[in-house]
Structure 1
Amino acid sequence: MKAGAGLFSALALFLLMEAVFTQRPRPRKPTRRPATVKKPSVPRPAVPIQPEPQEPTDFPPPILGPPSVFHDCPRECLCTPDYPNSLNCENRNIRAVPVIPFRTHYLYLQNNYISEVTAEPFVNATEVRWVNLANNRIHRIDNQVFEKIPALLYLYAHRNQLKEVPSGLPASLEQLRLSRNHISKIPAGAFKNMGNLTLLDLYHNQLSDSDLARGTFKDLKNLVQLNLAHNTLKKMPDGVPSGLIQLFLDRNRIDDIPKDYFKDFTHLAFVRLNYNQLSDKGVPKAVFNISTLLDLQLSHNQLTSVPLFSSHLEHLHLNHNDINSINGTLICPYSLQALGDLSDFSLGPRLRYLRLDGNHLNPPIPLDVILCFRHLRSIVF
């Protein structure tokens, strides 16, 4: 009986151990990854070198407008039914003048990047009266351009890069604005037969005395305003039309005025000679004693005395010179006794504005100045 019980216990122990051993995880054999086969390297195709852009990269792209009711309107311009005779192409970033429709009277091309003006776009533009090319980069205007627009009245080409006055200008022209260019040459006959021109603006260029021949302005019979300020002139220009009303010569190097320079002028009312090199030696005593003169500007020069002037002068600018005294008796167009006898003060000197600051003068204003110029309303002293 005991032997059977022991046999049973041994059998049970054997089964229990087998169950424990069967629950242990069997170790797995390490698996090897297949060796990577290296593919032979294939050379990458070379990237082709891109050519440099033809147009300057600092120019923004042209601005194209919406389709217009006018079939002939260039896309880079604006054409409105309210102004059917106007072609508005300003501020459009364009590089060349577009084809101008026949109906155009007013052509606005300012504030763009145009470098030259050729004749082709103007083939049908025979009715144009007004052309504004200001603030571009124009260095050349073909002579044939103006053959296409024979009735042109106003040509504005200021703020460009022109080196000479364009040739072949139409005889119909009334205003020519060429300021702020690089003009150092006026071709012979540039203003030939231009008897209708009233305004010629050559301000801020590079013109010298040798560039203004005596006959340069001889055909400009109706010229009213001549602006030669901010050039390199040392002398007063020759051959200026006698009917001129406004002569502007500021910011040159003029140091001498011939004593009879103004004697043939019949309507001269405004003379500006600010920022020159005028001294008493270069200004004859009575050179400005002109009955038509209303406004005389001589500021920023080297004058030590007040020049004589007529009783009709209304504005006198003498600021920033070397004047150290002023004698009202000497500069008064009338004697003080004669003025005292006048019952009508309106017949006396008409000077209303006098500027003397920036000199070597000390207040008070001399009494004889006050007694002479009784219409003075403003004195800057």
Structure 2
Amino acid sequence: MRVVIVFLLSALLPLCCCHARDPFAWLYGPQSQRFASLQANTNGQECPDVCDCPPTFPAAMYCDGRGLTAMPSIPSRVKYLYLQNNAITAVPDSALVNATNLVWLMMHYNQLTSDTIGKKAFQQLEGLERLYLQHNNLTGFPSNLPRTLQDLRINNNKIEKVTPADLEGMDNLTILYLHDNSVTDVGTSLKALKSLMLLDISGNKLTKVPDALPEQLHQLYLQSNSIDSLPEDFLGGFTQLQYVRIAHNQLTDKGIPANTFNVTGLVELDLSYNKLERIPPVSTTLEHLYLQANQIKEFTLGSFCSIVDVTNFSKLQTLRLDGNEISLQDIPTDSALCLRLASNIKV
């Protein structure tokens, strides 16, 4: 007799690690149904009735998508607190006084304002690593953020300015999402972030590249601002930078110093939707170049290769030039030697 056993595991797996940009995107969605109506009473510390505390994972408390307007009571054992997708309007100083063991605090998609977050609300969270505050109504960074933070997401708010005091001492911060705010200037506030690897400050009101960017950056996103020029030696001070996106700005040829992008290490460069009339010189190690929707009138092969032989050629795989003032006929016939790896050229 053949016995077929089917394990229904799919219902138990969290919906994570499948988002192209963010492995924690599953946190943004509707209320989790994974532990519906599970309540735990561990060490005499009861779970609030409106939240779920799975007995098999007592360090977590799920209060997401419950229609909450105020902070619930939080047992001291909780390390992972999910409060996203509610209507919480305030975080008083006393709200987290019992939650000093928190490692993750998810408060995105609420109705928080800067005035309703207590100045000492986060002060005692000495082990907090991940704080999500995106999609609220903040006009500035909360006071006394834990210096242990590694991942801070404060995008899609109403922040206009970043001061050095906002980020002072955050030596462990590796990810900062600040996009889709109203930031006009950050001064030298970011220089102190010695471990920062990903900075997304797109969708703001910047007119220039922020000064003194952290040297360890791996990804820099500046798209959808009003930047019309780049500083001298813009990329020269970085040691690990691989992804740069400056699309949807006001860049012109005059605003880009010579050989700005001719630096090794860069993997992806997005300059689409600007006002360029020429293809800027890029390193032969660059793999993906996006120049669509500019005003480019000439295909300059020298922008990709100064020397072409068996060992010297461009590593470019993707080249987007559509939406410019050139056609396929403008590409020189000998470009195949230089761009021998480019499987995707769009004109």
- Give the structure-1-normalised TM-score: 0.78
Question: Does structure 2 conserve the Cα–Cα contact (< 8 Å) formed by 1:67 and 1:75?
Answer: no
Residue equivalent to 2:345: 379
Letter in structure 2 aligned against 1:87: M
Residue equivalent to 2:14: none
Residue equivalent to 1:29: none
Shift of 1:69: 3.5
Cα deviation code 1:146-170 (max 9, x no counterpart): 2221110000010000000112111
Query: 1:118 & 1:87 partners in 2: Cα distance?
Result: 19
Letter in structure 2 aligned against 1:277: Q
Residue equivalent to 2:292: 319
Cα deviation code 1:203-224 (max 9, x no counterpart): 0000003xx122x012200100
Residue 334 (structure 1) aligned to one of 306, 317, 328: 306
Q: Secondary structure at the match of 1:370?
A: helix
Alignment of 1:113-128 (within 5 A): 113-128=87-102
Shift of 1:285: 2.1
Structure 1 window deviating more from structure 2 (347-356 vs 291-300): it is 347-356
Answering whether residue 120 of structure 2 is matched by residue 144 of structure 1, we say: yes
Q: Secondary structure at the match of 1:120?
A: coil
Shift of 1:67: 8.0
Answering whether residue 326 of structure 2 is matched by residue 367 of structure 1, we say: no
Answering whether residue 170 of structure 2 is matched by residue 194 of structure 1, we say: yes
The alpha-carbon distance between structure 1 residues 91 and 374, as it changes in their structure 2 partners (threshold 3 A), is same
Q: Secondary structure at the match of 2:345?
A: strand
Alignment of 1:221-260 (within 5 A): 221-260=194-233
Letter in structure 1 aligned against 2:235: F
Residue 316 (structure 2) aligned to one of 348, 351, 363: 351
Shift of 1:76: 1.4
Residue equivalent to 1:85: 59
Root-mean-square deviation over aligned CA pairs: 1.5
Shift of 1:66: 5.5
Answering whether residue 261 of structure 2 is matched by residue 288 of structure 1, we say: yes
Query: 1:294 & 1:204 partners in 2: Cα distance?
Result: 25
In structure 2, the gaps of 5 or more residues are 1-35
Letter in structure 1 aligned against 2:280: P
Cα deviation code 1:87-133 (max 9, x no counterpart): 10000000011111111010000000011112212111111100110
Letter in structure 2 aligned against 1:220: L
Residue equivalent to 1:16: none
Cα deviation code 1:190-245 (max 9, x no counterpart): 11111000001100000003xx122x012200100111100000011001111111
Shift of 1:280: 0.5
Query: 1:333 & 1:366 partners in 2: Cα distance?
Result: 13
Query: 2:67 & 2:208 partners in 1: Cα distance?
Result: 41
- Give the structure-2-normalised TM-score: 0.85
Answering whether residue 143 of structure 2 is matched by residue 167 of structure 1, we say: yes
Cα deviation code 1:15-50 (max 9, x no counterpart): xxxxxxxxxxxxxxxxxxxxxxxxxxxxxxxxxxxx
Residue 69 (structure 1) aligned to one of 34, 40, 46: 40
Q: Secondary structure at the match of 2:95?
A: helix
The alpha-carbon distance between structure 1 residues 66 and 299, as it changes in their structure 2 partners (threshold 3 A), is closer
Q: Secondary structure at the match of 1:296?
A: strand
Letter in structure 2 aligned against 1:285: A
Letter in structure 2 aligned against 1:334: S
Q: Secondary structure at the match of 1:281?
A: helix
Residue 106 (structure 1) aligned to one of 75, 80, 89: 80
Question: Does structure 2 conserve the Cα–Cα contact (< 8 Å) formed by 1:249 and 1:273?
Answer: yes
Question: Does structure 1 conserve the Cα–Cα contact (< 8 Å) formed by 2:163 and 2:187?
Answer: no
Shift of 1:82: 2.0
Letter in structure 2 aligned against 1:169: L
Question: Does structure 2 conserve the Cα–Cα contact (< 8 Å) formed by 1:327 and 1:369?
Answer: no
Residue equivalent to 1:62: none
More helix by share: 1
Question: Does structure 2 conserve the Cα–Cα contact (< 8 Å) formed by 1:176 and 1:200?
Answer: yes
The alpha-carbon distance between structure 1 residues 380 and 229, as it changes in their structure 2 partners (threshold 3 A), is same
Cα deviation code 1:286-310 (max 9, x no counterpart): 1111111110000000000000011
Q: Rg: which structure is higher?
A: 1
Residue 191 (structure 2) aligned to one of 218, 221, 224: 218
Query: 1:253 & 1:322 partners in 2: Cα distance?
Result: 17
Q: Secondary structure at the match of 1:354?
A: strand
Query: 2:124 & 2:93 partners in 1: Cα distance?
Result: 7
Letter in structure 2 aligned against 1:100: I
Aligned length: 306
Cα deviation code 1:301-347 (max 9, x no counterpart): 0000000011110000000000111021x2133323xx1xx2xx5x6
Residue equivalent to 1:130: 104
Letter in structure 2 aligned against 1:139: T
Question: Does structure 2 conserve the Cα–Cα contact (< 8 Å) formed by 1:167 and 1:187?
Answer: no
Query: 1:327 & 1:316 partners in 2: Cα distance?
Result: 14
Query: 2:254 & 2:247 partners in 1: Cα distance?
Result: 17
Query: 2:279 & 2:334 partners in 1: Cα distance?
Result: 14
